[in-house]
Structure 1
């Protein structure tokens, strides 16, 4: 018998069991594959997608606006819808995939009036949805519709634009540029999807160049982002849009893309600061860097998603796996008995005082909260991000 084995045999059994228990616990905190049943990403993700499907189209995600007439499909629904398609494919749930597609079909027929007018970042992101459906089904009508939204985001319309929008277009940026933090998901999502569909690097490069412009405009020295140049506050969900936007863009950008190194550097800088700002229970706050603020779920879920992607892609070390696991385990506790997320910041314009962000209503059932939780469930279950 080897000497090291003989040494173990001399130790009391209780001590040996404690050592192995401690070792198992230490490994577990980095584990992004095994969770308690109430936090199982397949169970949670399925529940949330079903919850999304059983509700009518929302009005900018807000459950308090349920009785307002629907003018078009709004971006929170698009985010949940696309996430649902990702998740259903990841867990091979064809029934969910079929239901998500069936929900879309009326938009090509009797509900076509709900297709958004392609004149704003919040509208053009709709194109991500038919493009994802095309990638999963191969149906050309989905591709045609989605590419229209990707292309019109860079094509200055013949009329109805402002001098500033014309300026952005002449400089090679989207005419829909406005330097609000939300844009770096809304613009890059549809352009990234167009690149994945066509393999035309024009779409990837224009999205990356736009991203670097926004990084130079509103990222602060500590890695966080102001809501806009005029709103010097590090709003949680706004920073979430940026975190996910960078993660998603880095997922699809070719390794030799000119802008990739800068985006990666800025992403890593943001992730490092987010890890510092994470609360002891795993959550993040309504203003990320203000410890007096309330815990907010949509931004927290977005940060969690960006970290899961980074860990799985090898961009981030295991300490981020620990942060992501802690966040996920905390976030699932904010799902109520109906399958709704609680503590979701209501839809938010740029604000000019700290009080404005503090006083935003924390809603239950806002789609802004369900969407990034579905993304997290997808990321945790996907083996080929």
Structure 2
């Protein structure tokens, strides 16, 4: 054999060996990939309520940073999710969840009971909502600072500016305006605080009367008689660009605005005394509300961002309002305020959320998609309350204004 022939044979042998080695390597690599299982951060054998709560803790390890914040803040979204968390804890006794709730209060309330980032002079109803966290923790911890912070929030309610007929302004910077949002932000706290911490019967009765008055006024000023739906905001002065010059109402029926209102009714009824004359009125309002909301439910079980505009171009099936309506109906039936037929509506809605809006990552983290990130009226830049305004606000996943109500709906339906 010539030297060249030997060289050719040697090369062929080397190439053959390399080919076999590559094949083996590919096979091993494939086997290794197939054997890798992603660790489940959130176990999938838990109920949806606990799965979503643990997912929230994973997304926002500090509750003070809920709502995608880069700095701690005392705000309503924290109170909403932690209110849901407290119910999951009572259901599961998962210490991780209790610690998450406590750590928020511990971080945001100093040793003297001052609330960090909160300003009483802003007279902002949104800031009352996280008081629910303190109402939950104080009986368990007896930490005086939590009681003092609650007293501060109660003092805000006693000094909150009002419309001429007694409706709380949404914020001092929004004079003469009542928004549906405000009833959920303030009234459940105010009612429970009166029941559990006000000893003077006359003062207590006045608070109950004030709370019921807010529902009476929002029904009077914001409810559309034809559809039964309620407009997002009402401006007594009729000066806002978004306000109808005859009625003072904003233009549209916003899904989450109506969602806040429904949750406000079922939650306030937890604490309003059985013998208060306003209790039956709120239950009547709730039944009228349920009837109107059911009429605009989509066949998917979900609700549209602008409730009565269906699949008009730009409108979309929205998660936060859908979760809030589901919770309101489920709790309303469970408590005996609504007829049993609304449990079917709630279950249909819940199935719609699971089928269309929930996604689960490989590691078990649960996401709630298609949430309206924010919507309001007025301000700077100016929000005009138009259809285009509502459908063009940011849409995102895992907004706490959706995850909190989803958790509470899951608990009410025991899913």
Q: Could you state the TM-score of these two structures normalised by the residue count of structure 1?
A: 0.77
CA distance in 1: counterparts of 2:104 and 2:127, whole angstroms: 18
* 1:224 aligns with one of 210, 223, 229: 229
- 2:406 counterpart of 1:370: no
Alpha carbons 1:309, 1:379 under 8 Å: kept:
yes
CA distance in 1: counterparts of 2:358 and 2:146, whole angstroms: 33
Hey, what does 1:320 align to over in structure 2?
Answer: 342
- 2:74 counterpart of 1:73: yes
Instruction: State the shift of 1:267 in Å.
Output: 1.0
Q: For residues 210-253 of structure 1, give each alpha carbon's deviation from its aligned partner in whole angstroms, at most 9, with x where no partner exists.
A: 22112211112132110113212000000000011111122321
CA distance in 2: counterparts of 1:141 and 1:58, whole angstroms: 18
Hey, what does 1:356 align to over in structure 2?
Answer: 389
* 1:279 aligns with one of 273, 290, 298: 298
Instruction: State the shift of 1:57 in Å.
Output: 4.7
Q: For residues 132-162 of structure 1, give each alpha carbon's deviation from its aligned partner in whole angstroms, at most 9, with x where no partner exists.
A: 2224444443222123202222225xxxxxx
Q: 1:90 to 1:263 in 2, by over 3 A?
A: same
- Counterparts in 2 of 1:142-157, with a 5 A limit? 142-155=146-159
- 2:358 counterpart of 1:335: yes
CA distance in 1: counterparts of 2:154 and 2:329, whole angstroms: 27
Q: Which ranges in structure 2 are unaligned for 5 or more consecutive residues?
A: 1-42, 199-203, 235-242, 244-249, 378-383
Q: For residues 322-377 of structure 1, give each alpha carbon's deviation from its aligned partner in whole angstroms, at most 9, with x where no partner exists.
A: 11111112223423323231100011112432111122222112211111112213
- 2:259 counterpart of 1:237: no
Instruction: State the shift of 1:196 in Å.
Output: 4.0
CA distance in 1: counterparts of 2:65 and 2:87, whole angstroms: 23
Hey, what does 1:103 align to over in structure 2?
Answer: 104
SS of the residue 1:259 aligns to: helix
Hey, what does 2:237 align to over in structure 1?
Answer: none
Q: 1:57 to 1:101 in 2, by over 3 A?
A: closer
CA distance in 1: counterparts of 2:266 and 2:228, whole angstroms: 15
Q: 1:340 to 1:192 in 2, by over 3 A?
A: farther
CA distance in 2: counterparts of 1:112 and 1:144, whole angstroms: 8
CA distance in 2: counterparts of 1:140 and 1:282, whole angstroms: 46
- 2:318 counterpart of 1:296: yes
- Counterparts in 2 of 1:177-256, with a 5 A limit? 178-198=177-197, 200-221=204-225, 222-229=227-234, 230=243, 231-256=250-275
Q: 1:86 to 1:318 in 2, by over 3 A?
A: same
CA distance in 2: counterparts of 1:135 and 1:282, whole angstroms: 39
CA distance in 2: counterparts of 1:186 and 1:53, whole angstroms: 23
How many residue pairs end up in the alignment?
Answer: 329
Hey, what does 1:92 align to over in structure 2?
Answer: 93
Alpha carbons 2:118, 2:127 under 8 Å: kept:
yes
CA distance in 2: counterparts of 1:113 and 1:203, whole angstroms: 23
> RCO (CA 8 Å, sep 6+): is it higher in 1 or 2?
1
SS of the residue 1:340 aligns to: strand
CA distance in 1: counterparts of 2:159 and 2:282, whole angstroms: 25
SS of the residue 2:159 aligns to: coil
Q: 1:59 to 1:91 in 2, by over 3 A?
A: closer
Q: Which ranges in structure 1 are unaligned for 5 or more consecutive residues?
A: 1-37, 157-164
Alpha carbons 1:48, 1:374 under 8 Å: kept:
yes
Hey, what does 2:28 align to over in structure 1?
Answer: none
The structure that has the greater radius of gyration is 2
CA distance in 1: counterparts of 2:371 and 2:64, whole angstroms: 15
Instruction: State the shift of 1:316 in Å.
Output: 1.8
Hey, what does 1:266 align to over in structure 2?
Answer: 285
Alpha carbons 1:121, 1:183 under 8 Å: kept:
yes
Alpha carbons 1:84, 1:100 under 8 Å: kept:
yes
- 2:331 counterpart of 1:309: yes
Instruction: Kindly report the root-mean-square deviation, in angstroms, between the aligned alpha carbons of the 2 structures.
Output: 2.7
